[in-house]
Chain A
């Protein structure tokens, strides 16, 4: 028996304390941003003043109530869930595909979601009126969610033989499927009138402007469930960094990890894209930055991705709401505008990480 000396002393190369410290810090940041986001907006309604008035027993003006509780609050919660969902999905996909550039797009989720949205926007009018009335203006998010799942299930089916999912097959089939989906989308877009085309463009740019309690209640639980499952993938994804064979040798149920990872990601991404349209870069930039700060250990990476992803989206949303107020800049433009150059900078200063 080797003496297991000095258990309290920190082990070199053990970065868990960094992850933990970062989590505390990010939680604080998110809390501050949430308060700022709730308190600020184009309308100048001040959250603290309304709250004080309410505590003092005054009647709250209807506009104030609507701005705070029907506009800013659901939007804040949607932003937090979507940001966390996109960043965690990115981190999981990168772990599963063992590639820091992987994103849920590889599952065909994004392509499927956009096909769903395009179909709903352009062809929605062809549905029987009763169905149209039932779906109402939730047709686009519902179709996007259905499209993302259909694409993911198809890919998963193609890549799984005898209970084993081949990640490499999935990657290649994903490219083929995305190309086919793009072709079908193109076909549908050809039918679109110019108003539908503008709707499509705005949908593709992503926005939280359509956040509402109804949407939040539909998509929120799906994203939240995915977020709650994600920490259980941490050991599995760490093991997969050594390759599938070694992961199995250290006792990881590799197939179960893969299936869970794929379902979790498809759920979170599908629901996020459905409520907010296409918001890029969060899923790649956030996990990458966190790996630089506290290492790739998924036990903290997944949690911190959720926190930082939510924060990034809140900041982007605040910019989107205020920079050209009273109009609004689609949030996808902002995440891409900040995310693109930042990502390039990270790549150039850390080439070794990608080559390794």
Chain B
């Protein structure tokens, strides 16, 4: 089972933002979408979630056209972590996570309490259920949102196929330990048979966790494949517009890689 973009073209106003992008993300894998700012990563993800309908081409989820699926069906098959969330009212953490249970109709029952607790533990916030969301730090808020997406598709594989986690920069405001927690969680979800598609800025974490990488530049996919094939000096330098070298240790100074972390 796959999440696919087939020749997706997309116009916003008069200008074309995506010029025919293809992507094949497989269940059981963590697929990373990388590329410089403004390359169309988030727009592609929005097309994959069904939030915007492409001008041409299709987004296919487990073999079905996303545009033809009802919001409830989509919600039971994939969950989306937005880049940033604004909240308008003083909800508690538990209440926010419960919103993720809208489509499963499990939000009322008492078994949902256990689910919410378990999700909070997985994102490393076991004691935060009673806190007000607006009083949390940016990193904590992001992990609460992740917990909300997790309860929506708690089991990585459902009766009618794999579930999908679509993450837009899931580690952007996290410290390094939290980044590792979240990336391990995503990798674990893929390991249990679910699908994960994540927009990534950090190329080290991408190299460390991704099974499959799509590199975008100016609304096109310029490379797709395993990290070792995409993350090369030549391809990255061309895409990001500066000279980059992989696996090159600086001659002096301090440097740190997430690969070296032990938890």
CB pair A7 B91 closer than 8 Å: no
Q: How far is the CA of A243 from the CA of B88 in the complex (A)?
A: 8
B74 within 8 A of A: yes
List residues of chain A with CB within 8 A of the CB of B103: 250-251
Asked whether, in the complex, the Cβ of A99 is within 8 Å of the Cβ of B88, the reply is yes
What mask results when residues 340 to 356 of chain A are scored 1 for a CB within 8 Å of chain B, else 0?
00000000000011001
Q: What chain A residues lie within 8 Å of B90 (beta carbons)?
A: 291, 295-296, 353, 356
Closest-by-CB residue of B relative to A8 is B110
Expressed in whole angstroms, the minimum distance between the Cβ of B50 and any Cβ of chain A is 8
How many chain B residues sit at the interface, stated as a range, is 35 or more
CA gap between A250 and B79 in the complex, in Å: 7
A25 in the interface, Cβ–Cβ < 8 Å? no
| Count of chain A residues near B, Cβ 8 A | 40
Q: Would you call A9 an interface residue if the criterion is a C-beta within 8 Å of the partner chain's C-beta atoms?
A: yes
Q: How far is the CA of A281 from the CA of B90 in the complex (A)?
A: 21
Task: Say how far A263's CB is from chain B's closest CB, in angstroms.
Answer: 20
In the complex, whether A229 has a CB less than 8 A from a CB of chain B is no
**B255 contacts the other chain (CB 8 A):** no
Which residues of A in the span 1-51 have a Cβ within 8 Å of any Cβ on B? 1-15
Contact B80–A249 (Cβ < 8 Å): yes
The answer for the CA separation of A11 and B115 in the assembled complex, in Å, is: 11
Segment of B6-14, B56-64, B94-102, B201-209 engaged in the interface with chain A: B94-102
Asked whether any CB of chain B lies closer than 8 Å to the CB of A336, the reply is no
When A and B form their complex, what is the total count of cross-chain residue pairs whose Cβ atoms lie within 8 Å?
123
B104 CB to closest chain A CB, in angstroms? 8
Interface locus among A123-131, A233-241, A267-275: A233-241
Confirm or deny: A100 has a beta carbon within 8 angstroms of a beta carbon on chain B: yes
Whole-angstrom distance from the CB of B229 to the nearest CB of chain A?
32
Per a CB cutoff under 8 Å, which of B50, B85, B95 touches A246? B85
Which residue on B lies nearest to A4, using beta carbons? Answer: B114
- B72 contacts A by Cβ under 8 Å: yes
CB-based nearest B residue for A2? B118
Chain B, residues 70-87, CB within 8 Å of chain A (1/0): the string is 011011100110100111
Answer whether residue B152 sits at the interface, using C-beta atoms and an 8 A cutoff. Answer: yes
Residues of the B chain whose Cβ atoms lie less than 8 Å from the Cβ of A153: none
> Does any Cβ of A come within 8 Å of B117's Cβ?
yes
User: Is there a chain A Cβ closer than 8 Å to B184's Cβ?
Assistant: no
State in angstroms the CA–CA spacing of A8 and B111 once bound together.
Answer: 8
Residues of B within 8 A of A99 (CB): 88
> What 14 new A-B contacts, CB under 8 Å, besides A4-B114, A14-B95, A246-B85?
A4-B118, A5-B114, A7-B111, A13-B95, A14-B98, A98-B86, A98-B89, A238-B99, A241-B99, A245-B51, A245-B82, A249-B82, A353-B89, A356-B90
Residues of A within 8 A of B (CB): 1-15, 98-100, 235, 238-239, 241-243, 245-246, 248-254, 291, 295-297, 352-353, 356
